[in-house]
Amino acid sequence: MTKPRSLYIHVPFCARRCSYCDFAVEAVRRPPVEEWLNAVVRELELIAAERGWAEPLQLETLYIGGGTPSLLGTGVMARLVERIAPLAVLEAGAEWTCEANPESFDDALAVDWRSAGVNRLSFGAQSFDVGVLRWMGRLHGVEGPARAIAAARKAGFDNYSIDLIFGLPERLARDWSSDLDRALGLDPAHVSLYGLTAEAGAPLGRWVAEGSERLADEDRYADEYLLAHERLTSAGFDHYEVSNFARPGRGSRHNFAYWTGAPYVALGPGAHGYYPPIRRWNLRSWSAYRDALAVGRLPVDGEERIDRDAAALEAVWLGLRTHRGYPLKGDDPERWDVARRWVASGWATLDQNVVCLTPDGWLLLDRLAVELHDAGGTRVRSRRIDGAAALVQISGTSQGSA
């Protein structure tokens, strides 16, 4: 089996849980840095032993996500790569991304991360509206992203991404066009969009279930997504994946490992790893995760085997979610008919034998992926397309957001 070339490490600590968040995080005043370092290193040791890897992994990408990695403070990233070096090393030219919340990213941390070897940043801005930020529970304020990016630039970073959330409740009167202007004004290399969803385990999920809050309707959701496409592509960004935009050459190399079905290692609470044909996920609770490793046990919560049919469906879904599209075979007339109908509806383009979804088509991604798969002659036994749980989706992300 091909050894993984990508590693995701989850930091499960935040200063506060946002209203929409259902990720594997815990609100803490001071993160237990040493315990976290010991735990993720130990998990990697156990995985290497389990998989029989005699030599260190040669990593093309490393992604530190969360949670709030910037909450760990200075000195931690250098120590992390030093401690995992017997098991995994970054190749020359590797992409190393760290997520950061603007309020916990300053000049000192920027210099520290840069000197450790971090070369890509992902900032969780979400909005530039003071009322929206307060409703979300965000701590950085309207000017927080600008201050954080100024610190990044001063330290020598030129590759950074900004996250924005769209599809907010109408009553908040959020000016989505203004937020796009503010994001573009920060001159990012990359922008990731996330449509707001009401996850059952998040405060927002409870509010929606109780009837005290309402999400945007489908038309508003679609209008905001399409407006973002228009504005960002007009500003020179490539809309290279359903929820991601990048300046030429600045697409997320780490996420392409997910989107191409490559194997990857994932460490930390709630993290999902893929060792074809097995996809598995960790315990979400920090304490349960830590305690399992303390007794020498991998903190696995569950796993699934991707059989031939599931792999075929995922191949369609993954292909359609990026600008690379999905190649059709010449002897598959049913799929060609489906693709031509999509083109007539404005949902796709067809260049020779490759079908690529348009932004209107991406709004229907899950449905269209099942339709194209089924046209190949094999019906999907389950309509759930969430096997690739580590993949960024238009409705949100569970790891490696940009």
pLDDT of the residue at 393? 36
pLDDT of the residue at 392? 34
3-state secondary structure the chain: CCCCCEEEEEECEECCCCCCCCCCCEECCCCCHHHHHHHHHHHHHHHHHHHCCCCCEEEEEEEEEECCHHHHCCCHHHHHHHHHCCCEEEEEEEEEEEEECHHHCCHHHHHHHHHHCCCEEEEEEECCCHHHHHHHCCCCCCCHHHHHHHHHHHHCCCCEEEEEEECCCHHHCCCHHHHHHHHHHCCCCEEEEEECCCCCCCHHHHHHHHCCCCCCCHHHHHHHHHHHHHHHHHCCCEEEECCEEECCCCCCHHHHHHHCCCCEEEECCCCEEEECCEEEEECCCHHHHHHHHHCCCCCEEEEEECCHHHHHHHHHHHHHCECCCEECCCCCHHHHHHHHHHHHHCCEEEECCEEEECHHHHCCHHHHHHHHHHHCCCCCCCCCCCCCCCCCECCECCCCCC
pLDDT of the residue at 395? 32
pLDDT of the residue at 389? 31
pLDDT of the residue at 201? 87
pLDDT lower than 70: segments of the chain: 1, 377-402
pLDDT of the residue at 397? 38
pLDDT of the residue at 399? 66
pLDDT of the residue at 365? 97
Question: What are the structural domains of the chain?
Answer: 6-259 (3.20.20.70), 308-375 (1.10.10.920)
